[in-house]
Amino acid sequence: MHDFNYNGKELYCEKVPVGKLAAKFGTPLYVYSHKTLVGHFLKLKKAFSDIRPLICFSVKSNSNLSILKALLERGAGLDIVSGGELYRAKKIGADAGKIVYASVGKTKEEIRDAIRAGIFLFNVESLQELALISEVATVLKKEARVCIRINPNIDPHTHRYITTGTVDSKFGVDLDTARIIFLNRENFKNIKFAGLHVHIGSQITQVAPFLAALKRISLFIDGLRKMGVPLEWLNIGGGLGIIYNQERPQTAEGFAAKVVPILKKIGLKVILEPGRFIVGNAGILVASVIYVKDTLAKRFVVVDAGMNDLIRPALYDAYHEILPLVKTEDKGRKSEDRKKTDIVGPICESGDFLAKGRDLPLFGPGDLLAVMGAGAYGFSMSSNYNSRRRAAEVLVKGDKFYLIRGRESFDDLVRLEKAIRL
């Protein structure tokens, strides 16, 4: 599942002791395993080899340039959602012909830049957006390829904040609207209608919602074909769940075994947009214990990483396993020292926690711990709240390690600000 393992009492990332990285680069620190990252991409590629889809890594899940580069070098395309993500893609020389662009709020400027860059296609989320893409493409005298994002109204049984394919969510268009768009396709100048896109949510652990969405889309495609609408591509999005705790998500092979026969029957070229599946278990967040505070109610272990570094627990009540970098029992502590513990950050919010009510060994000030499964939606969702500098990021490959993002400085925090006296 991943390449963070104990060697004796010490936690290693591949062949490097994580404690060594913490000593060199400080904490909070994101540490990624190259082997886990690339391994998950290749697993998916292999599982789907029968239909050879274009696999576009979802940049929002982890947008570090070295992470993107590692995947590009193995043939990945990119799924982007903003001008900033397009900028990152260009910065590393990504093949624009393998970039797909979703987002309900693409601005005119973002659309223009993406067309100029020659991206493969837009995943269009509304009639209004389609009209704007057509207008911009016409002015630029270019053709823009589009997939219409369908909202199939399928509940993926995941957290409501990462549910994106139900009727009450802002994403995509309903089937009737999509049909009207396709039937009126001649009215949209300089648009090449390539096909359909569907992404029903994230951290989906069962295959059933994917199958239900595909069934609905397949019927819809049949209808379009009967009406003479030519289609070439079907983008089935991302959303594959991973193990954070007790989940038993489908494996890449298990998922492909169920989905590929349906996709073959549909007979369109396929795009996948996984993020979490590829990078989720490839990263950890390392933190140092500052204080241990026993209160009347419980024990708080206050660490130097907070919700600004990893917001998933605060935002989604997400579970991340906590592991000591050095097994603390080995420091002569007894099992009766274990106590229900909250791991909390230094931020002035009660929602600032990384773990709640865990049965953990007694950490002491200066001890280091790892928040597991933090590779996806970890650093990429981090912020400067409480004027905290964002963490450094390190990528490990075998016995080598590379600083792939330095820790922000205090100067970074105020670089764009002015202290104006009025």
Q: Which residues bind ligand PLP (CB under 6 A)?
A: 58, 61, 79, 102, 164, 199, 202, 237-240, 273-277, 376
Nearer to ligand PLP, 171 or 182 (CB): 171
Tokens of 101: 């662009």
* Chain position whose Cβ is nearest to ligand PLP: 238
Q: Which amino acid is at 79?
A: D
- The least distance separating ligand PLP from the CB of residue 281, rounded to whole angstroms, comes to 12
Q: Is 348 a catalytic residue?
A: yes
- The least distance separating ligand PLP from the CB of residue 275, rounded to whole angstroms, comes to 3
Nearer to ligand PLP, 115 or 376 (CB): 376
In terms of C-beta distances under 8 Å and separation of at least 24 residues, what long-range contacts does 242-249 make, across chains too?
Answer: 242/203, 242/276, 242/277, 242/280, 242/281, 242/373, 242/376, 243/1, 243/281, 243/373, 244/280, 244/318, 244/319, 244/320, 244/321, 244/372, 244/373, 245/319, 245/321, 247/205, 248/205, 249/204, 249/205, 249/206
Nearer to ligand PLP, 361 or 378 (CB): 378
Nearer to ligand PLP, 134 or 164 (CB): 164
- The least distance separating ligand PLP from the CB of residue 286, rounded to whole angstroms, comes to 22
Nearest partner of 198 among 145, 151, 261, judged by Cα = 151
Nearest partner of 354 among 333, 378, 384, 325, judged by Cα = 378
Half-sphere exposure of 119 (CA within 13 A, CB side): 32
Nearer to ligand PLP, 16 or 311 (CB): 311
Distance CA 159, CA 233 (A): 29
CA distances from 36 to 65, 220, 235 (A): 17, 37, 25
Question: Active-site residues: which are they?
Answer: 348
